[in-house]
Amino acid sequence: MLDGLKKRMIILSITAVLLGFIIVLQIRSLQNVDELFFRDNVSNIFQEINILKEKNSALADEIEDLEKNLEQFDDQNLALDAIESEINKYKKLSGDFSVFGPGITVTLTGEFSTPWMIDLINHFFNSGAQAVDVNGIRITNQSAGFDTLPQGQIFLNGSILSEPYIFNVLGESSTLIDILELPGGVFDRLQATFPDLIIETVMKDVISIN
Amino acid sequence: MQKPFFISVLISSIFLGLLIVIQFSTDKPIESNFPLHELEARDNLLKSFIDDQSYLQSRIVNLRKQIDEAQNSIALQSENVNVDLLDSLKKAVGLTELSGPGLEIILDDSSLAYREGTDVTDILLVQASDIRDTINVLNAAHALGLSLNNQRVIATSPITSVGTTILVNNSHIAPPFVIQAIGDSEAMLQRLRDENSMIDLYRRFSQSQAVFEVALKDVINVPIYNGDLQDEYINLIEE
């Protein structure tokens, strides 16, 4: 009788220890899932330093260009050329004029949401995109805000966007793809959030954005 | 007699199991791996990059102002300069200061949060996605100009995070995050108050007690964009 009781107690204790073990593992695995669905990158100090270094180098290049530009104003003819080239640069960037260049086309087919649309476009620009359009609407200072309609559709600049969502992204194709397709990067997180979403990326020599 | 004994054995065993797992699967050392001088060196390196960045950004703003003045002066001397086009393009790109009525939105971490050190509390912190969502709502309400911690935010401005550090235009910014928006205050306010427009933010902020404050302002000044403008992969289609 006592032996039976002892045996049951041992079994009960082992089961309880295993139960505790499993509870902790489960909690930890759920935390990992949360991290996977997190909309922002989890990264480290070395990446931060690298970004700041690259940014400072880009700012230094911009200063060099601006200084050269300013020097041209000492001569009236050169000044007129400088103004003309400035007008051309801002025409390309303003979004009011049609542009073309190399880049990638990303096609998303399936369920998708406004917050992820915002994140994806943010990632395009962070990866070096110089111009982006989605379903034919260029993202500019005048058309940058997305809305969600009551039925869940994504609304931009007076138009309802429907799938497939086609993004034309102008920039250095290989750099864009390398960054977007990084393990744990935006495409991985997007796929983890929307398992049925089909993501197709094509590099192109010439893409037009109107 | 046996039942309370069984229950106490059961509870103790579960507790023991939890302790064993925590003990053996702790992956963070109680004390940091980094010696103090390495942490200090890391912080100094970051600070030096951030200081350089501030200098470079202010130099860019200054050069753009000088170019502006030089352009105006040339425009007075020559009829061949299309100043109106240049000005309207600069405005579209974000290279003119703006002033007008609007909103000031403050996003700040919960008072219980730690953004640095080994006790970082992600759930209580403002995330880059919170800032992006807020700016998106303001853009959707047709904000005419936006700044974040006094940095102009344009359509191509990435707002990202590296760990717990938030970057706008790839420049480091620290909380509180102050967004200023010029435009139709009522329209922007209405959108911001609509919880459906920022479901994630409202749900997380109500749980974490992070700060989300909106104030109407008669005058808001938005500075010019102080970053680089890359265009080497874009070509104009001649019409």
Confidence of residue A71 (pLDDT cuts 50, 70, 90): very high
Mean pLDDT, rounded, of chain B: 86
Within this chain, do residues A209 and A106 fall inside the same structural domain, yes or no? yes
Within this chain, do residues A70 and A82 fall inside the same structural domain, yes or no? yes
Contacts of A148 in chain B (CB under 8 A): 196-197
Within this chain, do residues A106 and A186 fall inside the same structural domain, yes or no? yes
Please tell me the predicted confidence (pLDDT) of residue A44: 61
Contacts of B42 in chain A (CB under 8 A): 45
Please tell me the predicted confidence (pLDDT) of residue B154: 96
Contacts of A87 in chain B (CB under 8 A): 82, 85-86, 89
Q: What is the pTM of this model?
A: 0.79
Query: How does DSSP classify residue A185?
Result: S
What percentage of residues in chain B have a pLDDT greater than 70?
88
In the predicted structure, residue A205 carries a pLDDT above the cut 90: yes
What percentage of residues in chain A have a pLDDT greater than 90?
56
In the predicted structure, residue A35 carries a pLDDT above the cut 50: no
In the predicted structure, residue B119 carries a pLDDT above the cut 70: no
Interface predicted TM-score (ipTM) of this complex, two decimals: 0.78
Total number of domains in chain A: 3
Residues A126, B161 contacting (CB under 8 angstroms): no
Q: How many CB atoms lie within 10 A of CB B67?
A: 20
Query: Are A47 and B77 inside 8 Å of each other by CB?
Result: no
Looking at residues A121-141, what average pLDDT do you find?
95
Contacts of B27 (CB under 8 A, 6+ apart): none
Within this chain, do residues A28 and A47 fall inside the same structural domain, yes or no? no
Rounded to whole angstroms, the Cα distance separating B214 from B177 reads 12
Within this chain, do residues A25 and A60 fall inside the same structural domain, yes or no? no
CA dist list (Å): A172 to A125, A137, A150: 12, 21, 37
The domain containing residue A202 runs over which residues?
99-210
Looking at residues B72-96, what average pLDDT do you find?
87
Mean pLDDT, rounded, of chain A: 86
Rounded to whole angstroms, the Cα distance separating B222 from B220 reads 6
Confidence of residue B88 (pLDDT cuts 50, 70, 90): very high
The string of pLDDT tens digits covering residues B17-52 is 777 776 665 544 444 455 566 667 777 887 888 889
Query: Are B20 and A17 inside 8 Å of each other by CB?
Result: yes
In the predicted structure, residue A34 carries a pLDDT above the cut 70: no
Looking at residues A24-45, what average pLDDT do you find?
55
CA dist list (Å): A108 to A125, A134, A145, A191, B110: 18, 11, 19, 10, 36
Rounded to whole angstroms, the Cα distance separating B113 from B119 reads 9
Within this chain, do residues A155 and A185 fall inside the same structural domain, yes or no? yes
Architecture of domain B98-222: 2-Layer Sandwich (3.30)
Rounded to whole angstroms, the Cα distance separating A162 from A154 reads 7
Looking at residues A59-75, what average pLDDT do you find?
91
In which region does residue B94 sit, left (phi positive, over 0), alpha (psi from -120 to 50) or beta (all else)? left
